[in-house]
Amino acid sequence: MTRRELLKNSALLLGGTALSPQTAFSALPHSLNINAPFTAADFGKDFLWGVATAAYQIEGAWNIDGKGPSVWDTFTHKKGKIHNNENGDVTCDFYNRYYDDIALIKEMNLDVFRFSLSWSRILPEGTGKVNQKGVEFYHKVIDRCLELGLQPWITLYHWDLPQALEDKGGWANRDVVQWFMDYADLVTKLYGDKVKNWMVLNEPMAYTSLGYLAGIHAPGRRSLSAFMKSIHHTCLVQAEGARIIRANVADAHIGSTFSCSPIDPKNESRKHKKAAAKIDALINRLFIEPALGMGYPTDAAPFLKRIHKHVQPGDMERLKCDYDFIGIQNYSRIVARHALIPPFVWANQVKPENRGISKEDLTLMRWEVYPEGIYRVLKQFAAYEGVDKIIVTENGCAFTDVVEGDGVRDPKRVQFFKDYLSNVLKAKQEGVNVQGYYVWTLMDNFEWAEGYTPRFGLVHIDWDTQQRRIKDSGRWFQQLLAGR
Ligand code: IFM
């Protein structure tokens, strides 16, 4: 498989002058009728609506005010790793524009700003000396949210490990568990009196597999053994991190997020169904089941027994943790087929193009638009004993947008939200305890190995001028949520 193909498939793991908010937010165009098969009230008055972001994807200021490099700084500065050799050095310049950018969330009538902390902005070496300017930056972000009546939701880790820690082995070194615990202890003590909603990790499947096995995300390693170790250390961290938040933050509301996709076999034959079960174990079950005290899903994916080599006495008990909610992140679905090589090299997936899915029904990431998928994963995860509350912590799509004056036409994205949200509502009406929905993402940003080509934002960014323009999809949310 070529690097380009790997990149496309890897996606399945997953889901000038700034205008003042007032200027950017002109009236809804007449043609944009809310026209949804539901109202916000149908989701209930306490249902939370928000946007999600990640530090490396939006902040820029990669070496400013004492920030240390992360693995993503190092990786993107190497030639040939990222589409068009792009990087997140500046990206949305959120570090300097956070004040107005957060106001845009309020303008769209949303409740929640989900963002991640850059570990190496706070601890440039990953451990030890604290960078006060980094600490202050997140205080300013949090304070701006609170001033506007928005809830800040913090993700402790969204893929940007301090490079200094990668130099010592990164997620493949068991010491990462203690490094992470020290970092979590520090930031929960720093911000815990103001922030009550915390998520430990974002989509662990993505950074462990793409970063340590496929080598197409930072840190760019290709080692089965490093992958297996990184899985176990990550599972320890997702539990220990939650315990630290619980200990340090009064009235904390704690979760962690998981990338999820419904998996269908290519057809009903036994071998394809078995392949589907394997991929389900890898994509959907691998991180949540240890947290629920169920161990690793080796029943359907025996190759995962290799993880046990890295398990020490007492670890299996330590993996279990007690979340208040889990974060579901869904974008598309996977169709599985039997192949002789192990599933983590993606040979077991039938690409949408080879299943007769038309271009119209693919996003710019070449992901199939499959609204029923979010209903299916909500049902699947809600069925676990031990999962009570669910928040959709990411869902969204990349399509081509058309800029017209101060506005941006993105009808396919509007339709996407209508269809996916209808399915969230269906699950809720059938009894799934889903209590929030956060769009990926606030504004166009650096989409990892794909660089700046796919735009996912509710807000369009002109990369030459940094001008922000709220898209029709953002206006659609504004109208849906008005007057609540
Ligand atoms: O941009 C990513 C995000 O960082 C994690 N979830 C999927 C998104 C879209 O690929």
**Secondary structure of 371-414 in HEC code, one letter for each residue:** CHHHHHHHHHHHCCCCCCEEEEEECCCCCCCEEECCEEECHHHH
Atom of ligand 1 nearest to the CA of 365: 10
| Token duo for residue 458 | 């509710």
Strands 459-461 and 468-470: antiparallel
| 175-to-49, 131, 168, 172 alpha-carbon distances in Å | 37, 22, 9, 9
Strands 402-404 and 407-409: antiparallel
> What percent of the chain clears pLDDT 90, i.e. is strictly above it?
89
pLDDT for the residue numbered 29? 59
Residue 23 pLDDT > 50, yes or no? no
Cα of 258 from ligand 1 centre, angstroms: 11
CB of residue 394 inside a 6 A radius of ligand 1? yes
pLDDT for the residue numbered 3? 44
pLDDT average, residue stretch 208-234: 97
Residue 147 appears among annotated catalytic residues: no
pLDDT for the residue numbered 25? 40
pLDDT for the residue numbered 4? 45
CB of residue 375 inside a 6 A radius of ligand 1? no
Choice between 272 and 28, residue whose per-residue pLDDT is larger: 272
Cα of 15 from ligand 1 centre, angstroms: 5
> For atom 8 of ligand 1, which residue has the closest CA?
15
Confidence of residue 308 (pLDDT cuts 50, 70, 90): very high
With H, G, I as helix, E, B as strand and everything else as coil, classify residue 154: strand
| 306-to-26, 79, 231 alpha-carbon distances in Å | 56, 33, 11
Cα of 455 from ligand 1 centre, angstroms: 11
Based on C-alpha coordinates, what's the Rg of the chain? 21
Residue 203 appears among annotated catalytic residues: yes
Residue 260 pLDDT > 50, yes or no? yes
CB of residue 134 inside a 6 A radius of ligand 1? no
Question: How many Å apart are CA 93 and CA 84, to the nearest integer?
Answer: 19
**Cβ-count burial of 228 within 10 angstroms (0-12 exposed, 13-18 middle, 19+ buried)?**
buried
CB of residue 15 inside a 6 A radius of ligand 1? yes
Are 111 and 150 a contacting pair, CB within 8 Å?
A: yes
pLDDT average, residue stretch 302-322: 97
Over residues 329-364, the pLDDT tens digits come to 999 999 999 988 766 656 688 999 899 999 989 999
Choose the catalytic residue: 59, 86, 166, 203.
203
> What percent of the chain clears pLDDT 70, i.e. is strictly above it?
92
CB of residue 291 inside a 6 A radius of ligand 1? no
Cα of 312 from ligand 1 centre, angstroms: 32
- CATH code: domain 3-480 is 3.20.20.80
Please say whether the dihedral angle defined by the alpha carbons of residues 38, 43, 48 and 54, taken in this order, is positive or negative.
negative
pLDDT for the residue numbered 33? 72
Over residues 389-431, the pLDDT tens digits come to 999 999 999 999 999 999 999 999 999 999 999 999 999 999 9
CB of residue 54 inside a 6 A radius of ligand 1? yes
pLDDT for the residue numbered 19? 30
CB of residue 237 inside a 6 A radius of ligand 1? no
pLDDT average, residue stretch 19-41: 62
**Cβ-count burial of 106 within 10 angstroms (0-12 exposed, 13-18 middle, 19+ buried)?**
middle
Over residues 171-207, the pLDDT tens digits come to 999 999 999 999 999 999 999 999 999 999 999 999 9
With H, G, I as helix, E, B as strand and everything else as coil, classify residue 481: helix
Residue 286 pLDDT > 60, yes or no? yes
Strand partners, 328: 258, 392
Choose the catalytic residue: 59, 166, 289, 394.
394
Which amino acid, one-letter code, is at 199? M
Confidence of residue 32 (pLDDT cuts 50, 70, 90): low
Give Dmax (Cα) for the chain: 64
Residue 27, H or E segment = none
Cα of 313 from ligand 1 centre, angstroms: 35
In 10 A of CB 251, how many CB atoms? 6
The domains of the chain are located at: 3-480
Over residues 73-126, the pLDDT tens digits come to 999 999 999 999 999 999 999 999 999 999 999 999 999 999 999 999 999 999
- Phi, psi (rounded to 5 degrees) for 340: -80, -25
Question: How many Å apart are CA 325 and CA 135, to the nearest integer?
Answer: 27
pLDDT for the residue numbered 34? 78
Are 10 and 216 a contacting pair, CB within 8 Å?
A: yes
> For atom 1 of ligand 1, which residue has the closest CA?
447
Confidence of residue 31 (pLDDT cuts 50, 70, 90): low
Choice between 218 and 13, residue whose per-residue pLDDT is larger: 218
| Token duo for residue 250 | 């009064």
Torsion of CA 227, 229, 232, 234, to 10 degrees: -70
pLDDT for the residue numbered 476? 97
Residue 5 pLDDT > 70, yes or no? no
Residue 26 pLDDT > 90, yes or no? no
pLDDT for the residue numbered 346? 67
Residue 481 pLDDT > 80, yes or no? yes
Question: How many Å apart are CA 276 and CA 299, to the nearest integer?
Answer: 13
